[in-house]
């Protein structure tokens, strides 16, 4: 780590040849660092490794030479990781905190076994499989939260050695008790942190606005602008409650400061232009209850970097993600039946598009941009059907089997 002051009076902080922070007076701007794994150790020692193209976190990365593995106290896994390898944190007895990103889909055998210092673990909704004894012997755990609505595949003795509650989404409680029958008596409904209709925070003022469920399951622009009592252009974060089933058209139209949105578990419809021109919105969580995404719903959201559309969605409206110029990856669920014209047009830095539907959806004109010619991955058994389907034939040279 190197720090020096440049001519403008800013202090620049560099790490492994990359500028990571710029500080002036009491203001700090954090730059992207592409970190795959970072850790702190007893005594304050730190270690980081960058993404290297390998999406599995391995033991060689969590147990670097010159560091006392058992003295690791905190760990953070970067969002370039999709799988946590076997035994990568095995017997890290001093580990008290670990952050698992929403990019991870699998947790390997004994990955966190005997991490006796862990008191809680939060498993993101992206995880679909958890290996043998992954959290076995974690005797200090007081809570385990699994956010996936579909229970991940669970191997043997995953949570053995602890007796704490296992919290899961309320609508999936019985599914978990059946699938994870060994731990049925420990499985409980996730305690809601917000049970209202809408909650928002605003700018540096720290103002908050909260609206209770009012019997109307549609979230309208009247709800989101606080009936005119708040400056919606300064809204930085929003939380949408489980009582909402529909986000109405223009509900967040041109909320230029909105950077974070959390959506409840029962949303079915995102209407036309709901989030159009939300310039700072970099990610969005779509619940498995979602059915359709309307026309221009996320058009001109220029900070969105990736989109995962769940298997429940059947319709993606025209220009839904038009001009999302930072979008690099897109995954579309297996139930989609229609993708509208220009849905992903002008998304020119996309590196991959994955469509999981076995039957080619109805495709509007210019649904995808031909500028970058990124691969379009589809189920292997459906490659030829896609290549010859109406409108899909325009992208025949790009269509490949899902790796």
Please, are residues 329 and 306 in contact by the beta-carbon 8 Å criterion?
yes
CA 172 to each of CA 17, 289, 369, 371, 395: distance values in angstroms, whole numbers, following the listed order: 46, 12, 38, 42, 39
Please, are residues 146 and 190 in contact by the beta-carbon 8 Å criterion?
no
For 215, phi then psi, to 5°, come to: 90, -15
* In the predicted structure, residue 309 carries a pLDDT above the cut 90: yes
Strands (E), 264-358: 269-270, 292-293, 306-309, 315-316, 329-332, 338-339, 352-355
* In the predicted structure, residue 2 carries a pLDDT above the cut 50: no
Distance CA 369, CA 99 (A): 35
pTM (2 d.p.): 0.58
**Number of Cβ within a 10 Å radius of residue 191:** 11
Task: Using the Cα atoms of residue 159, residue 160, residue 164 and residue 165 in order, give the sign of their dihedral.
Answer: positive
Distance CA 50, CA 31 (A): 14
* In the predicted structure, residue 26 carries a pLDDT above the cut 90: no
169 pLDDT tier (thresholds 50, 70, 90): confident
Distance CA 111, CA 285 (A): 26
* Tokens describing residue 258: 């909105």
Q: What is the pLDDT of residue 172?
A: 87
Q: What is the pLDDT of residue 371?
A: 87
Closest to 88 in 3D by CA, of 56, 65, 129: 56
Q: What is the pLDDT of residue 205?
A: 67
From the options 1.10.10.10, 3.80.10.10, 2.60.120.260, 3.40.50.720, give the CATH code of 38-189.
3.80.10.10
- Residue 9 CA, chain-centre distance (Å), reads 37
Distance CA 22, CA 10 (A): 6
Q: What is the pLDDT of residue 228?
A: 64
* Tokens describing residue 14: 């560099």
Q: Where are the domains of the chain?
A: 1-33, 38-189, 198-401
Closest to 377 in 3D by CA, of 403, 359, 395, 396: 403
Q: What is the pLDDT of residue 9?
A: 38
| Strands 11-15 and 129-130, bridge-based pairing | unpaired
For 228, phi then psi, to 5°, come to: 80, 0
Distance CA 133, CA 155 (A): 8
* In the predicted structure, residue 31 carries a pLDDT above the cut 60: no
Percent of the chain with pLDDT over 90: 78
In the numeric block, the tokens 């800013």 are attached to 10
1 pLDDT tier (thresholds 50, 70, 90): very low
Across the range 49-60, mean pLDDT stands at 93
70 pLDDT tier (thresholds 50, 70, 90): confident
Q: What is the pLDDT of residue 192?
A: 56
Q: What does the pLDDT look like over 340-396, one tens digit per residue? A: 999 999 999 999 999 999 999 999 999 999 888 999 999 999 999 999 999 999 999
* In the predicted structure, residue 153 carries a pLDDT above the cut 80: yes
Q: What does the pLDDT look like over 181-239, one tens digit per residue? A: 999 999 998 865 678 999 999 887 678 889 999 999 999 998 998 766 678 889 999 99
Please, are residues 80 and 56 in contact by the beta-carbon 8 Å criterion?
no
End-to-end CA distance of the chain: 38
What does the mean pLDDT of the chain come to?
Answer: 89
For 270, phi then psi, to 5°, come to: -110, 115
Please, are residues 158 and 136 in contact by the beta-carbon 8 Å criterion?
yes
For 224, phi then psi, to 5°, come to: -75, -25
Across the range 29-39, mean pLDDT stands at 69
Distance CA 134, CA 114 (A): 9
* In the predicted structure, residue 30 carries a pLDDT above the cut 80: no
Exposed e or buried b per residue across 301-310, where buried means at least 16 C-beta atoms within 10 angstroms of its C-beta: bbbbebbbbb
Task: Using the Cα atoms of residue 311, residue 315, residue 318 and residue 320 in order, give the sign of their dihedral.
Answer: negative
- Topology at the third CATH level for domain 198-401: 3.80.10
4 pLDDT tier (thresholds 50, 70, 90): very low
In sequence order, what are the residues at sequence separation of 6 or more whose Cβ sits closer than 8 angstroms to the Cβ of residue 348?
A: 325, 369, 371, 372
Across the range 103-114, mean pLDDT stands at 96
22 pLDDT tier (thresholds 50, 70, 90): very low
33 pLDDT tier (thresholds 50, 70, 90): low
In sequence order, what are the beta bridge partners of 77?
Answer: 37
Across the range 305-312, mean pLDDT stands at 93
In sequence order, what are the residues at sequence separation of 6 or more whose Cβ sits closer than 8 angstroms to the Cβ of residue 55?
A: 80, 81, 82, 83
Same fold, 38-189 and 198-401: yes
Q: What does the pLDDT look like over 272-298, one tens digit per residue? A: 999 999 999 998 989 999 999 999 999
């Amino acid at each position: 780590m190197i720090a020096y002051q440049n001519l403008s009076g800013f202090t620049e902080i560099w790490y492994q040849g990359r500028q990571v922070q710029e500080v002036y007076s009491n203001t700090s701007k954090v730059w992207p660092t592409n970190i795959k794994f970072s850790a702190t150790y007893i005594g304050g020692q730190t270690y980081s490794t960058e993404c290297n193209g390998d999406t599995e976190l391995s033991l060689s990365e969590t147990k670097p030479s010159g560091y006392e593995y058992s003295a690791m106290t905190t760990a953070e896994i970067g969002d370039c990781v999709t799988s946590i390898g076997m035994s990568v944190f095995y017997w890290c007895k001093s580990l008290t905190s670990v952050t698992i990103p929403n990019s991870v889909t699998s947790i390997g055998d004994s990955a966190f076994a005997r991490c006796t210092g862990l008191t809680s673990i939060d498993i993101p909704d992206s995880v679909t499989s958890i290996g043998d004894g992954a959290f076995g012997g974690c005797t200090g755990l007081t809570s385990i939260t699994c956010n996936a609505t579909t229970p991940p595949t669970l191997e043997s003795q995953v949570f053995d050695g602890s007796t704490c509650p296992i919290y899961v989404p309320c609508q999936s409680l019985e599914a978990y008790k059946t699938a994870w029958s060994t731990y049925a008596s420990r499985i409980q409904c996730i305690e809601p942190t917000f049970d209202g209709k809408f909650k928002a925070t605003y700018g540096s003022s720290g103002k908050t606005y909260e609206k209770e469920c009012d019997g109307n399951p549609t979230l309208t622009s009247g709800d989101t602008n606080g009936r005119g009592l708040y400056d919606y252009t300064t809204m930085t974060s929003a939380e949408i409650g489980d009582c909402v089933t529909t986000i109405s058209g223009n509900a967040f139209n041109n909320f230029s400061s909105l950077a974070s949105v959390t959506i409840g578990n029962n949303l079915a419809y995102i209407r036309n232009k709901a989030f159009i021109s939300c310039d700072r919105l970099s990610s969005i969580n779509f619940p498995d209850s979602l059915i359709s995404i309307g026309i221009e719903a996320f058009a001109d959201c220029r900070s969105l970097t990736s989109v995962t559309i769940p298997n429940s969605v059947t319709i993606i409206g025209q220009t839904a993600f038009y001009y999302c110029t930072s979008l690099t990856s897109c995954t579309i669920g297996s139930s989609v039946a229609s993708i509208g014209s220009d849905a992903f047009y002008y998304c020119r830095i996309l590196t991959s598009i994955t469509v999981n539907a076995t039957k080619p959806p109805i495709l509007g004109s210019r649904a995808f941009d031909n500028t970058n010619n990124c691969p379009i991955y589809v189920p292997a058994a459906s490659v030829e059907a896609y290549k010859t389907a109406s409108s899909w034939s325009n992208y025949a040279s790009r269509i490949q089997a899902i790796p």
